[in-house]
């Protein structure tokens, strides 16, 4: 049996050390990662739930409360927590994982933090692959928490079977900006910190907005929650379960198209390095006739900028 087949067999048997190892191989594109992705047996019946929303909405706290409830029912839960990467030093705090620290020793829970590594939206460039690897493990649920960058988080629809949008009563102005983006892809709305002033009016407005946009058999729920107290958690889990038992997801073709697009995009940009680009730009921008569009065009045509620099990319 080859090394990859051995890993996949151990993965199917529920070995978490193997899961962590396989994720590292795929995330860092080490030897065998392509064979893993093309050979892995993905269990499509395991729901992937995307938790999205603006910064400070309490996404990590809500997920932690959901994990606590599900694990108490002996459910196996996988969590992918996405954290932003600094554009300057390329480091990542991975703070979301710290906010779920109480579950680190829970045998029913597996938490993996991923850095965005320069991805402009709310997901890491490798999230799709890692979510599918985790779907080959005997989880009951997989949760993906996005960074929290507003409307660009619509990309979560390309990954999740159910998308949960978490808002807070103070999100009024942000909702206006999100109407044409995140607001339209959410399957479940959760108004967290519902004990704050203005919550009742905000919830009422969200209900009116959501129901005016419904265009399918799914009646989008708007749930009040106080995640720090565990209030509303049962309702959120019930809504997720109901959405996943509806049958064929009407967004499925779109979901797969989004996945395929992201995978093709990642493959085409595989050799692109922002650090190399920065080095090249530091030299080029000193020229009096520097033009960014000409710079990009030349990369696209030649695949390199100058002989003294490293080879860059065949395409962008």
- Asked if 141 and 127 sit in the same domain, the reply is yes
What pLDDT does residue 137 have? 96
What pLDDT does residue 172 have? 62
Burial degree of 233 (CB within 10 A; 0-12, 13-18, 19+) = buried
What pLDDT does residue 273 have? 76
- The last residue of a domain, from among 265, 286, 303: 265
- Asked if 160 and 247 sit in the same domain, the reply is yes
Number of domains in the chain: 3
- Asked if 180 and 61 sit in the same domain, the reply is yes
- Asked if 198 and 244 sit in the same domain, the reply is yes
- Asked if 89 and 199 sit in the same domain, the reply is yes
Q: With contact defined as beta carbons under 8 Å apart, do 150 and 178 qualify?
A: yes
Q: Is the pTM higher than 0.75?
A: yes
Instruction: Work out the number of other CB atoms within 10 angstroms of the CB of residue 265.
Output: 11
- Asked if 133 and 28 sit in the same domain, the reply is no
- Asked if 12 and 117 sit in the same domain, the reply is no
- Asked if 213 and 140 sit in the same domain, the reply is yes
| Orientation of helix 127-134 relative to helix 252-268, angle to 10° | 120
- Asked if 175 and 292 sit in the same domain, the reply is no
**pLDDT tens-place values along the chain, 316 residues long:** 689 999 999 999 999 999 999 999 998 889 999 999 999 999 989 999 999 888 888 898 999 999 999 999 999 999 998 875 544 444 444 444 555 666 777 899 999 988 765 444 446 668 888 999 999 999 999 999 887 654 445 567 667 889 899 999 887 655 655 555 566 778 899 999 999 988 998 898 888 888 776 656 788 999 999 999 999 999 999 999 999 888 655 666 776 787 788 788 777 777 777 778 888 899 999 999 998 888 888 887 765 443 333 443 333 3
Question: Residue 104 is part of a domain; what is its CATH number?
Answer: 3.40.50.300
- Asked if 147 and 253 sit in the same domain, the reply is yes
- Asked if 50 and 118 sit in the same domain, the reply is yes
Instruction: Work out the number of other CB atoms within 10 angstroms of the CB of residue 269.
Output: 13
What pLDDT does residue 296 have? 86
Structural domain including 294 reads 271-316
Residue 236: its H or E element: helix 233-244
Among the listed residues 305, 303, 238, the one whose alpha carbon sits nearest the alpha carbon of residue 278: 305
Beta bridge partners of 165: 52, 189
- Asked if 125 and 52 sit in the same domain, the reply is yes
Query: Which three-class secondary structure state does DSSP give residue 60?
Result: helix
């Amino acid at each position: 049996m080859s090394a990859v087949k051995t890993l996949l067999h151990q993965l199917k048997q529920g070995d978490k050390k193997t899961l962590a190892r396989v994720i590292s191989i795929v995330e860092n594109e080490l030897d065998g990662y392509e064979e893993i992705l093309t050979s892995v047996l993905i269990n499509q019946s395991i729901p992937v739930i995307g938790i999205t929303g603006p910064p400070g909405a309490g996404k990590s706290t809500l997920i932690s409360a959901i994990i606590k409830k599900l694990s108490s029912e002996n459910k196996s839960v996988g969590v992918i927590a996405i954290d932003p990467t600094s554009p300057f030093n390329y480091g990542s705090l991975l703070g979301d994982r710290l906010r779920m620290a109480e579950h680190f020793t829970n045998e029913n829970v597996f938490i993996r933090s991923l850095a965005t590594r320069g991805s402009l939206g709310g997901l890491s460039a490798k999230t799709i692959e890692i979510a599918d690897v985790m779907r080959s493990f005997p989880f009951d649920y997989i949760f993906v928490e996005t960074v929290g960058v507003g409307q660009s988080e619509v990309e979560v629809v390309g990954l999740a079977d159910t998308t949960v949008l978490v808002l807070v009563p103070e999100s009024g102005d942000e909702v206006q900006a999100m109407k044409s983006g995140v607001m339209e892809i959410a399957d479940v709305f959760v108004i967290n910190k519902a004990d704050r002033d203005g919550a009742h009016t905000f919830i009422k407005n969200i209900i009116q907005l959501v129901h005016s946009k419904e265009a399918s058999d799914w009646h989008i729920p708007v749930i009040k929650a106080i995640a720090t107290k565990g209030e509303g958690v049962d309702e959120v889990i019930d809504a997720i379960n109901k959405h996943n038992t509806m049958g064929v997801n009407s967004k499925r073709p779109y979901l797969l198209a989004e996945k395929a697009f992201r995978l093709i995009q990642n493959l085409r940009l595989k050799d692109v390095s922002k650090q190399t680009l920065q080095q090249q730009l530091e030299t080029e921008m000193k020229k009096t006739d520097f033009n960014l569009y000409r710079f990009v065009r030349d990369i696209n045509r030649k695949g390199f900028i100058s002989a003294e620099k490293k080879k860059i990319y065949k395409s962008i």
